[in-house]
């Protein structure tokens, strides 16, 4: 036992036991000790951390070492799912608070210091008497982003990584659609307020970023007022200075974003990696890109995608898979027998084992028709276009989908009843239709004025007439676009079976608020503009120029 190390308390052991039962972690093999440590950075800053050491019989070695970097504290709830659950199964765990958070010195500047700090943590770690020559990394969301920052220069002694629901590119998340994702404001609000780990476990859990269903009504009001940047400055005051840098740099290729974009890591990592996501996660697109890129490089990479939101996919339902992965690649005591891709197919409500994602598919085309319909036959040359008006002062609301906390599969029937949404719905299907991959829409579209956004959602209408979301996309349109050409719009990937008797629905809208900053319809940018102009959208359907293309598959892969 190391000097200064504390044995696990009875209350901590009880929480570990109950938590392990909930997440399906199986039996503990030992208790553990924890020891607070300080880790020096190259600029003199010290990071706060806890080192967890399993209490194992003399002469036996730990199963391995896991490094976790976290900006959300090291309290009981978050340390359980990231460190203690593994320490009780024989692993050492170094749980580090990132710069400027929860006892670590320095200033938190979202995403910009993790690359150098993570390298310094590894250098310090190698000098410790308990270091045995190799380690793995683990952690979801921002904790996973820290891993990608480390992997810009991947240490040779890092032997495995578990990365759930994590971006490698913060710029792409913030501004990749051309509109600003407003969950960056709610996340920044929580990050700038909550540096206190006092209070009950439930109070601390409620205060963790990601549980933003508890965000303040005052922030909602601030997001609704114009101009957006001025309103947020009034609300935040001196808090969250990084948020206003985000707002200032709308070009993702701006030099400002360079420290926050870690595409190079995808070209450099060699160790086995387990990626986890959910169909309703905020970062699904980036996780699937990571998998595809690593697979093409022949990296040993595994992917799990469940019917989950961001919080659900952060590891709550994947602990058995994570433990199996660590047993093979770190402890060397087991094998990870799962396929390259373990995919949940909604609608069919079953897991599939696949050798790759997406699987091969055939295009299934539905044509947008007049009379708000989708059909398999191209409409006539005189088919009437569909139109709607998007009013920035009464924006189309965000319902479910890929929101940080309020997302998921929801009844979105009310969207179809709105006057600012065009709806196209098929007849009941005569047979099952399974789609695996990214649907696309060829949309012949105009807007007046030309400054406008598009939000598209693919839905399933069940036999009772209730609509539920399947996948979606958002895009700020270029005012200089050629209106004589159809837009090619790509949805997020999905895996869904439309069962016989259900109907396919496409929703077309001009916004999704408060998930995205709305288009104001003026030449002033959406962050600083105050004046608004309603935007008339017209969808031309004549002669089949607008169509929905679904990636149809026969049942692909084995039931997992």
In the chain, the N- to C-terminal Cα span, in Å, equals 42
pLDDT classification of 195: cutoffs 50, 70, 90: low
> Percentage of residues in the chain with pLDDT exceeding 70?
95
pLDDT of 229 strictly over 60: yes
Window from 191-200, 222-231, 241-250, 509-518 with minimum mean pLDDT? 191-200
Q: What is the pLDDT of residue 406?
A: 82
- 51-60, 128-137, 278-287, 340-349: which has the minimum mean pLDDT? 51-60
**Mean pLDDT, all residues of the chain:** 94
β-pair partners for 425: 373, 505
pLDDT, tens digit, 9 for 90 and up, residues 137-165: 999 999 999 999 999 999 999 999 999 99
Give the DSSP letter string of 34-91. Answer: EEEEEEE-TTS-EEEEEEEEE---TT---SEEEEEEESS--SHHHHIIIIIHHHTTTE
**pLDDT higher than 70, residue 208:** no
The 10s digit of each residue's pLDDT in 346-380 is 999 999 999 999 999 999 999 999 989 999 999 99
Q: Domain 6-178+266-354 carries which CATH code?
A: 3.40.50.1820
132 bridge partner residues: none
Task: Report the pLDDT value the prediction gives residue 427, as an integer from 0 to 100.
Answer: 98
pLDDT value of position 523? 87
Range among 6-20, 181-195, 203-217, 490-504 rated most confident? 490-504
What is the pLDDT, as a whole number, of residue 215? 59
Quick one: pLDDT band at residue 206, thresholds 50, 70, 90? Answer: very low
Reported as a pLDDT band with limits 50, 70 and 90, residue 1 is low
Q: In terms of residues, how long is the chain?
A: 560
The DSSP bridge partners found for residue 51 are 35, 94
Q: Are 537 and 390 in contact (CB under 8 A)?
A: yes
| CA 540 – CA 535 distance, rounded (Å) | 16
- Rounded to an integer, the average pLDDT of 420-428 is 98
pLDDT, average across residues 474-490? 93
Q: Identify whether the C-beta of residue 318 lies closer than 8 Å to the C-beta of residue 25.
A: no
Tokens at residue 129, please?
A: 């008497």
For the stretch 280-294, pLDDT in tens is: 999 999 999 999 999
Q: What does the pLDDT read at residue 315?
A: 85
Q: How confident is the model at residue 197 (pLDDT cuts 50, 70, 90)?
A: very low
How crowded is residue 516: how many other Cβ atoms within 10 Å of its Cβ?
23
User: Where are the domains positioned within the chain?
Assistant: 6-178+266-354, 179-249, 362-552
User: Given this model, what pLDDT does residue 42 score?
Assistant: 97
- Predicted local distance difference test score (pLDDT) of residue 204: 44
- Mean pLDDT along residues 503-519: 98
pLDDT of 211 strictly over 50: no
Percentage of the chain beyond pLDDT 90 is 89
For the chain, give percent helix, strand, coil, nearest 5: 25, 30, 45
Q: Which CATH superfamily includes the segment(s) 362-552?
A: Galactose-binding domain-like (2.60.120.260)
Alpha carbon dihedral 198, 204, 208, 212, in 10-degree steps, equals -120
Classify strands 32-40 and 6-7 as parallel, antiparallel or unpaired.
antiparallel
**pLDDT value of position 45:** 98
Place of tokens 């891709």: 341
Range from 66-80, 123-137, 204-218 carrying the lowest mean pLDDT: 204-218
What gap in Å lies between CA 543 and CA 57, rounded to an integer?
Answer: 76
In the predicted structure, residue 86 carries a pLDDT above the cut 70: yes
> In this structure, how many other beta carbons lie within 10 angstroms of the beta carbon of residue 389?
12
The span from the CA of 209 to the CA of 231, in Å, is 22
18: pLDDT strictly greater than 60: yes
- pLDDT at 203 exceeding the cut of 60: no
Would you state the pLDDT for residue 201? Answer: 40
Lowest mean pLDDT across 180-189, 211-220, 325-334, 432-441: 211-220
So what's the pLDDT on residue 334? 87
């Amino acid at each position: 036992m190391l000097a200064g190390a504390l044995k696990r308390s009875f209350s901590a052991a009880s929480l570990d036991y109950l938590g392990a039962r909930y997440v399906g972690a199986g039996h503990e093999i030992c208790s553990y000790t924890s020891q607070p440590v300080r880790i020096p950075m190259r600029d003199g800053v010290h990071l706060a951390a806890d080192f967890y050491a399993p209490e194992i019989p003399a002469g036996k070695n730990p199963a391995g070492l896991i490094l976790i970097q976290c900006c959300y504290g090291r309290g009981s709830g978050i340390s359980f799912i990231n460190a203690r659950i593994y320490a009780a199964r024989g692993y050492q765990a170094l749980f580090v608070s990132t710069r400027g958070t929860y006892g670590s010195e320095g200033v938190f500047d979202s995403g910009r210091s993790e690359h150098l700090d993570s390298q310094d943590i590894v250098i310090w770690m190698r000098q410790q008497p308990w270091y045995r020559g190799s380690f793995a990394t683990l952690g979801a969301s921002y904790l996973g982003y820290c891993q990608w920052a480390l992997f810009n220069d991947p240490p040779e002694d890092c032997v495995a990584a578990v990365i759930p629901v994590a971006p490698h590119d913060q710029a792409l998340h913030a501004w990749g659609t051309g509109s600003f994702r407003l969950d960056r404001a709610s996340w920044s609000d929580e990050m700038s307020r909550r540096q206190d780990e006092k209070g009950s476990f439930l109070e601390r859990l409620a205060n963790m970023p990601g549980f933003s269903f508890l965000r303040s009504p005052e922030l909602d009001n601030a997001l609704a007022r114009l101009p957006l940047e001025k309103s947020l400055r009034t609300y935040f005051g001196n808090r969250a200075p990084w948020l206003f840098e985000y707002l200032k740099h709308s070009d993702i290729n701006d030099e400002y974003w360079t420290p926050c974009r870690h595409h190079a890591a995808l070209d450099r990592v060699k160790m086995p990696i387990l990626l986890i996501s959910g169909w309703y996660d905020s970062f699904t697109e980036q996780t699937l890109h990571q998998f595809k890129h690593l697979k093409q490089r022949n990296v040993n990479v595994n992917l799990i995608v469940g019917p989950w939101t961001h919080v659900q996919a952060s590891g709550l339902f994947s602990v058995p898979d994570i433990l199996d992965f660590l047993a093979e690649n770190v402890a060397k005591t087991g094998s990870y027998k799962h396929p390259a891709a373990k995919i949940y197919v909604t609608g069919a409500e079953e897991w599939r084992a696949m050798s790759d994602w997406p699987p091969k598919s055939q295009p299934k085309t539905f044509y947008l028709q007049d009379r708000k319909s989708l059909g398999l036959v191209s409409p006539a040359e005189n088919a009437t276009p569909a139109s709607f008006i998007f009013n920035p002062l009464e924006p189309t609301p965000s319902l479910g989908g890929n929101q940080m906390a309020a997302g998921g599969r929801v009844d979105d029937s009310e969207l179809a009843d709105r006057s600012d949404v065009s709806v196209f719905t098929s007849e009941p299907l005569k047979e099952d239709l399974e789609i695996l991959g990214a649907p696309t829409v060829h949309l012949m579209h105009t807007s007046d004025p030309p400054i406008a956004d598009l939000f598209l959602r693919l839905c399933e209408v069940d036999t009772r007439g209730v609509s539920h979301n399947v996948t979606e996309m958002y895009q700020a349109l270029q005012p200089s676009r050629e209106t004589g050409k159809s837009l090619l719009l790509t949805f997020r990937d999905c895996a869904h079976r439309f069962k016989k008797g259900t109907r396919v629905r496409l929703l077309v809208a001009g916004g999704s608020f408060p998930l995205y900053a709305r288009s104001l319809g003026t030449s002033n940018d959406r962050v600083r503009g105050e004046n608004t102009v309603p935007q008339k959208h017209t969808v031309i359907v004549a002669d089949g120029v607008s169509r929905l293309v679904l990636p149809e598959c026969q049942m692909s892969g084995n039931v997992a």
